[in-house]
Amino acid sequence: MTEERSRRAPGFRHGEKSAPVETALNIYLHIKIQYTGQIMYTVNMKAKLKSNPNVAYSCNYHVVWCPKYRRPVLINGVDIRLKAILQEVCTEFNAELQETEVMPDHVHVLVGVDPQFGIAKLIRYLKGRSSRLLRQEFPWLKSRLPTLWTNSYFVSTVGGAPLSVVNQYIENQKNV
């Protein structure tokens, strides 16, 4: 029995990184970025990967959603409180809230999330908790809308463009 154990591959304790995950954390990416027109260039950058015990990942998403009937109700302090709630929820679920812009009638969020947790689950928590808390703290929202958010949202992975470009796009939404 002891000979059989010595032939097996060494096991890993909980929280210890396996060899493939450790290797993935040290990968350098060679990214090709193509913009409209004929300008094409490459960027070398070290991968900013996160990991849990069995996955190394870099999953960043651009998410947009609207209040019911696209009413401009995210004003008069609601926008500031919404940003705080979104940050609290992301911290609770180990997601990285990279950028947030609240417009009167929609919300832009750039967030990194563990693929095993999932973006759909995170959005459900973000919209659900923010709706409940905002409607409690701002009673006038209850009289304007039957529910705060629509059931739908837009989500896109952020892989083709550098995060700085997406950050700049979200920051400049108020200037459009």
Which positions are annotated as active-site residues?
A: 169
Query: Phi and psi dihedrals of 26, rounded to 5?
Result: -105, 15
Q: Please give the Cα distance from 23 to 56 (Å, whole number).
A: 9
Is there a contact between 50 and 59 (Cβ–Cβ < 8 Å)?
no
Q: Please give the Cα distance from 117 to 1 (Å, whole number).
A: 39
DSSP state, 174? Answer: G
* Helix or strand (DSSP H, E) at 45: strand 40-46
Query: CB count, 10 Å around CB of 43?
Result: 10
For residue 156, list its beta bridge partners.
62
Handedness of CA 148, 101, 29, 51 (dihedral sign): negative
